[in-house]
């Protein structure tokens, strides 16, 4: 399969400040690491330089009042909240990153690649009329709406494997039965944004289409992968989406500075292989990875590379974790098994496969 990797040097403008956890150099560091590993020399890898997103793209998801607010904040160099600054340069970088997400989808549906990766994005804390948590506009939802409006993608599965629950993405599609949103994240009682519980399953016609897999802090890799396989595989096969969009980065790694889950670099490779196999069986391999998060810049490029390798090859990973792995990959596995039982029990009224 031909894999498109979308990147623009202006992604780095999405830099939230000198002492902020989200710095813009993450994107170039990841790109440089990929080049060092030789991804650009593979015959089935195609690098794509995206165009900037337009106001008309943003307004498909966000309210005009909220979009106008953000543009005014950018003009006056004011923050949206204490951890989400806005400026003209930040907004420019964001519009290129959103353009990268849109370009990833366009490249698949117009036939130049089979699957795609955007080296940026996944701004899942932004809702229709709110932002926060380092997120201003939600490129995941904008991508999904673009695919539905322009390419007749009727059903979309979004897997959110960021360590934090994507409250914005969840809210946008909470009553939409054509978008199955599955989020695997750290227990919201222990981490921002404090929501994303098992009982939050959607509402109205979308009831049963919002699926949360909250995991205890320090959950080991084996337990994490068990939870992901137990929920994602049967639901994706029953839902039969036209495409899978996955967003995350490296913050579920055991050495991340803002999260407390237990994945290794090889664990991200396994997550990506699960996604790859699901997409191969269900939607002709159509899969998009949006990679943005991660707050340990030593491990971030390793994890992003592992995620890309997982959709390129079903073999073994050719790099090692820069840190010694946790001793117990099965940590919390009994608790995770109980969580899986709870999720399946709650969803049986909506899904026959679990």
Catalytic residue IDs: 125
The distance from CA 162 to its chain's CA centroid, rounded to whole angstroms, is 6
Query: Is the peptide bond between 193 and the residue preceding it cis, with omega within 30 degrees of 0?
Result: yes
Check residue 50 and report its DSSP letter: P
Interhelix angle 221-239/333-347, rounded to 10 degrees, is 20
Residue with tokens 């130049």: 112
H or E element that contains 48: strand 45-48
Rounded (to 5) percent helix, strand, coil in the chain: 40, 15, 45
Cα–Cα–Cα angle for 111, 144, 268, rounded to 5 degrees: 80
> What DSSP state is assigned to residue 319?
S
Taking each helix axis from N to C end, the angle separating 265-282 and 221-239, rounded to the nearest 10 degrees, works out to 10
> Which segments of 239-347 are extended strands (E)?
243-249, 287-293
For residue 24, the Cα-to-chain-centroid distance in whole angstroms is: 17
Structure tokens at 104: 């990833």
Distance between CA atoms of residues 258 and 252, nearest Å = 9
Report residue 286 as tokens.
């159509």
Residues β-bridged to residue 84: 81
Distance CA 106, CA 103 (A): 5
Residues comprising the chain, all counted: 354
287: which residues sit within 8 A by CB, 6+ positions away?
A: 115, 116, 243, 244, 245, 246, 275, 276, 279, 311
| Residue 316 burial by Cβ neighbours in a 10 Å radius (0-12, 13-18, 19+) | exposed
């Amino acid at each position: 399969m031909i894999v498109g990797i979308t990147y623009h040097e202006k992604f780095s403008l999405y830099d939230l400040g000198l002492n902020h956890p989200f710095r813009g150099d993450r994107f170039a560091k990841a790109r440089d690491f990929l080049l060092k590993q030789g991804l650009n020399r593979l015959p089935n890898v195609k690098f794509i330089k995206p165009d900037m997103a337009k106001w008309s793209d943003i307004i498909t998801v966000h309210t005009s009042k909220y979009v106008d607010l953000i543009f005014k904040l950018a003009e006056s160099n004011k923050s949206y909240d204490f951890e989400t600054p806005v400026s003209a340069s930040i907004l420019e970088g964001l519009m290129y990153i959103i353009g990268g997400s849109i370009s990833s989808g366009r490249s698949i549906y117009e036939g130049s690649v089979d699957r795609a990766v955007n080296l940026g994005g996944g701004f899942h804390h932004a809702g229709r009329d709110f932002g926060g948590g380092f997120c201003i506009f939600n490129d995941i939802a904008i991508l999904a709406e673009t695919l539905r409006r322009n390419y007749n993608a009727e059903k979309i599965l979004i897997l959110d494997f960021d360590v934090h629950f994507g409250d914005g993405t969840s809210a946008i599609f909470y009553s939409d039965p054509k978008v199955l949103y599955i989020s695997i994240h750290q227990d919201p009682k222990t981490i921002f944004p404090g929501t994303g519980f098992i009982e939050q399953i959607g509402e109205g016609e979308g009831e049963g289409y919002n699926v949360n897999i909250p995991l205890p802090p320090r959950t080991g890799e084996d337990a994490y992968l068990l939870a992901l396989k137990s929920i994602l595989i049967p639901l994706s096969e029953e839902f039969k989406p036209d495409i899978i969009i996955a967003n995350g980065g490296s913050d579920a790694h055991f050495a991340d500075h803002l999260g407390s889950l237990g994945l290794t670099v090889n664990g991200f490779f396994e997550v990506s292989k699960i996604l790859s196999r699901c997409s191969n069986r269900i939607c002709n391999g159509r899969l998009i990875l949006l990679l943005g998060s991660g707050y340990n810049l030593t491990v971030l490029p390793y994890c992003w590379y592992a995620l890309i390798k997982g959709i390129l090859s079903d073999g073994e990973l050719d790099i090692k974790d820069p840190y010694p792995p946790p001793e117990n990959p099965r940590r919390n596995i009994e608790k995770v098994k109980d969580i899986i039982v709870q999720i399946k029990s709650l969803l049986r009224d909506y899904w026959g496969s679990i």
